[in-house]
Structure formats: structure tokens, C-alpha cells
Structure 1
């Protein structure tokens, strides 16, 4: 299977990436496959090879793997320098460290000169048991605000290969926000294409449009089934391209649905919900609107199910938000 990945600007920068990563469900394997066809790709790590799935790259292409230690700011600066020298660097850490901790370096050494540095973050939002210091609830807001920066959050292993190809095809910096997969990826889930600047409708409905991304796509589809039993029909959109956003699709959904709800594992301030709200406000449409996400609070340590339950991120919370709008 070959996924044809447009570059979002009407052309194709390098079809080899799409061909190389087409069947990959693991981020690490997708990156390695792309690197094997393009010698410009280099891999940088901050002492997190195992959780960022970069052991495949390290063990296969050690001469292009650079471990800089626990110093993400320096890693981003190194990546910027390598990009100026003609490389395509992929820099890895946890989401909160590859964005908030190194924000000035990303802004001035990557985004401002529009270099092809790909920042790859793992464990987004509240999907960590490592406590508040590791919870990335503002990373999308930070990266969205930077000129030249693209922001991608694939729904899961079924879309990660296409997302890596699209990140490579984009001639500029990218923030790739990934969830850690537990165990082997489900090979029965159909692979999904990805195009920068385009959302994917996963389910068609008439009453409410749910716009979501990342691992929340699965929860949104679960909530849609719950709503169907209440005679509420839901459209579910996988908005893996958070920036650039598919503004045309959002505006169309706002015109064709009575309700629009965003659903994200991130603060409701500055993330996907804010991006969708901006488009709706400028479109002149007036659907009933709600955002389901982290409501401007720091969380606490705990398991993902516990945190999702306490901070209102479960499929049931999305269901109740839609029911509340409908009543």
C-alpha cells in the first residue's frame, strides 16, 4: 500500500517518504524507513531513546544518531545548526520538554529561520503517570503561536506513518505530537492517509460535529455511538492537522450542524478548541459551541483513566457535553 502525501501547497516534495513509511504503524519504524531512503535525515535524542522509539534508528544508523543528554535546549540549537548545514533533524523528547522547556530556542533557532527541524514529542496532555511536571497541557498553544510552525497530532499507529511522511514533505519546522502505544499496534485497523491542512471525517452525522485529534479520536467515536442511542447523530472529524487547520471544513461543519464541540487532551485555552472557535467566529456561523478539554487547571499525579475521569476527558464527558448543548 502506498500513501500519496500532498505537501499542503499543491505539490509533492518527495514521494519517497510516502512510499517508505506507507506501512509503518510504529513511529520509530516510520522514521527509520524514511531515513533509509534519505541520507539527510538525522536523529537527536535527550536520553529518552526507548520511550521515543528511536532505538530502531540508533541501532541501524548509529552514525546519524546523536544523543545529547538531558539538555533539550542545547539539542534544539544543535538541530538548528544541522538544518542550516543541509540535514533534516528529528529532535525527540517528551511533549512538555520539547516545547515549553525550549521555547525560546525553538522560536529563534528553528521557527524564525524556517528550518526543516522536526520536533517530536511523546506523552501529550494527561496521558502520563509521571506527575504535573510531565503533563503537556499547553504545548499545542505554544507551537500554534509560532509563525512557520506546523502542528500535527495523528490519531494513532494507523496514521503515524503518513504523519511522518507529511512532516518530511513540509519545507519548514513541524511539531509532531504523539501518544505512546502500549504493546504491538493493532494490525487490523486500516491505515489512514494524512494531508497537512486537511481534516478527515471519520463518521457522518447531522446534529453535532465533534472535532478532535490524537488518541481522543477513538473516545469521540465511542461517544458518538452513545449519542446515537439517544437519537443524536454525530459527525466525528479527526483534525490531525492542527496547524494549518482545515478552516474550510470547520466553516462547513458550522453551517451544516446545529452544534459543534471540540474534544482534546490539552487545555481549552489556545489548543484545538481555540483554533476551531476562531474559525467559527470569523465565518459568521452561530452553532451552539462547546469545548471539552482541560479547563485551565494544573492536574495532579495519577493514572490516565483517573486523570481523564477527574478532569472531564472521558467519552462520557463528551457525551454529556453534547447532551447539555442539545437540551
Structure 2
């Protein structure tokens, strides 16, 4: 077995840390400059959620609520009823698990125009089970009226923030902070709520991915291409409402299907794609890359992604497996039934 060191340098060692642009914080400030209704609430996590930028520029519109997420969500709901547009910030796991009843009863149920901004998705933290949001998409998907968005990286954060603002109703925005600066030739990605983005086209296999797993899916597609397997890769940045029609079209064309997510395979992207196919009676082999039915542990992100099967090679292995199971069906008989 290959030996992997549990590297803690990204948490304990600060001497070699390079300054990375804070793409979310800057995007929120640009939005707030144009719209005075925007307010920011934070649960004692201003620097980790990049809201210290907002605090310093708009101190009268920034509210530090302390480590009291449930109360913060309730306050945000009240502010929304008075005409503000609250952006509410904490770590993903605290906004969802800890404040779930308040999110359900005071945000989702009344369709409050509250934007819930969560950081540290899935296994992107070494702080252990208490901080690892492996079920947040499942929790937010289950709430009526809730929109769930996860941009693929810093190149899509600005578009995600603007899309959340333009959406009339509650939004859960799942963010991973950038670890490196975008190169000068990086194209800013659009984000249209409810529409997928096709980043690569092929006829043999389709991979639906969200968040940090998109780049890994694209790398897996390149490896598969070298073996003569051509893959369509899809950025599913909006997990609810999901693009059922395009998903069904792509699966019916390619046949074999993989989903890849930094989340439990229960209740997340994989289940959303499977549900879309099932409701249209599309019988296709689907294999999911994600966290199995288990909690994780403390460790650096590379260590955790490798241990829990969320690396590029894991996607390649799943793809080869699902191709053997593939049974193509015609889409023509059902496409007219898709709304």
C-alpha cells in the first residue's frame, strides 16, 4: 500500500503561506457598492469567510452575531422581511446542521430572501468531523424553496454571488476558498441558475461534477481519452433546481454515467442525477464518486481526498467499471415528456 503522510503544514505552518486574492469577499463588496440593501452577518468567522473586507468597507452594514448560528439565521430572516438582502456567513456544517430548524422555519418556509454562504465544504478542512460538511447539500436539497449552488472554483465565484443576489428567494451557496491565484488567461465562468455547463464533449461517457471535483473530472477525462474513451464533462453548479432536461439528454446520448462530488453519496449530486433519470424512466448504469456512508477524520485535504476515494484515478476506475455495465436506451421515446 502506498504510504501517505498526514501533512498538517497547511494548518500549523504559516511562514510560507502566499497571499491569495479573496475572490468571494471582493465580489460581495462590489455587489454591495451597487446595492445598499445588502447586509452581511457573520458568526465570529470574518477572516475565514472573507467578510472582514465587507466589515472594513461597510461597517454600518456588517453584523457580527457571535457563535450563535441559529440566532443569526433568525435575525437575517427578520432583516429580509424589512427589505434588506442578508448574506449570512459561517462554515457549511454550522449553517446547515446546527441551524437547520431555523433555516427551515424562518428562511425556506416563508421564502425569505436570505443568502446562506457556507465555507469549508466536504473534506476541504483538516479540523475533523465537527467541521466537515459531508451532508449539507442533502440537507439543503430537502428544503422546499431552497436553491443550492456550488461553483467549480474561484473563476465562477463572482458569477455565483451575482446569481444568488438576482435569485428571488433563499439560496445556499457552498464555497471553497481559493488556494492559488487565478492565472491572467483564466476565463471567468458564467453561472445560470438551473442550467449545467458542458466543459468537454465526448460520446462514450458523461461525468457530472460539482465544486472541486470538476477539475478532477476533467483530468480523468483526459486520461480516458488517451485510452480511446471520449468523455463529456458537465459542471453541475446548480444542484437545486437541477437541469433535468439536459442531464437526461446527455445520459441518453452517452449511456455510461458518473457523478463526482465532495459530499456524501447519499442525498447529494449523485442522488439528484439518479432521481432525474428515474423520473424519466431512463435505465442507465450510474456510478457515484463521493464519500461513502461514513464520517471522515482530521487530515490535510489531499490526504483525505485520497483516503476516501475522491481523486482523479478514482473517477477513472469508476468510469471503466460503469462502461462495462452500460446499457444504452433510446431517448427519443421520452424526450417529449420532459417539461
TM-score (norm 2): 0.88
Q: Kindly state the Cα deviation for residue 287 of structure 1 after the two structures are TM-superposed.
A: 2.1
Alpha-carbon distance in 2 for matches of 1:233, 1:325: 14
Alpha-carbon distance in 2 for matches of 1:174, 1:43: 14
Partner of 2:272: 275
**Contact conserved, 1:110 with 1:173, CA < 8 A, in 2?**
yes
Moved over 2 A (4+): 183-188
1:87 partnered with 2:68: no
For the pair shown, which has the larger CA radius of gyration, 1 or 2?
Answer: 2
Gaps of at least 5 residues in structure 2 are 1-20, 325-339
SS at match of 1:291: strand
**Contact conserved, 1:257 with 1:287, CA < 8 A, in 2?**
no
What pairs with 1:207-286 in structure 2 (closer than 5 Å)? 207-286=204-283
Partner of 1:204: 201
Gaps of at least 5 residues in structure 1 are 1-23
SS at match of 1:100: helix
Q: Kindly state the Cα deviation for residue 300 of structure 1 after the two structures are TM-superposed.
A: 1.0
Partner of 1:322: 319
1:18-75 residue CA offsets vs partner (Å, 9 max, x unmatched): xxxxxx9711111110111111000000111111011110110000000011111111
SS at match of 2:216: helix
Q: 1:124 aligns with which of 121, 125, 136?
A: 121
Q: Kindly state the Cα deviation for residue 253 of structure 1 after the two structures are TM-superposed.
A: 1.2
1:28 partnered with 2:21: no
Alpha-carbon distance in 2 for matches of 1:187, 1:290: 36
Partner of 1:148: 145
Distance change (3 Å), C-alpha of 1:185 and 1:70: farther
RMSD of aligned alpha carbons: 1.1
Q: Kindly state the Cα deviation for residue 185 of structure 1 after the two structures are TM-superposed.
A: 3.4
1:218-253 residue CA offsets vs partner (Å, 9 max, x unmatched): 111001011111111110000001100000111101
Partner of 2:305: 308
1:75-118 residue CA offsets vs partner (Å, 9 max, x unmatched): 10110110011100000000100111100000001110001100
1:192 partnered with 2:189: yes
Alpha-carbon distance in 2 for matches of 1:271, 1:187: 33
SS at match of 1:323: helix
Alpha-carbon distance in 1 for matches of 2:144, 2:22: 30
Alpha-carbon distance in 2 for matches of 1:160, 1:25: 10
TM-score (norm 1): 0.91
Number of paired residues? 304
Q: Kindly state the Cα deviation for residue 183 of structure 1 after the two structures are TM-superposed.
A: 3.9
Q: Kindly state the Cα deviation for residue 211 of structure 1 after the two structures are TM-superposed.
A: 0.4
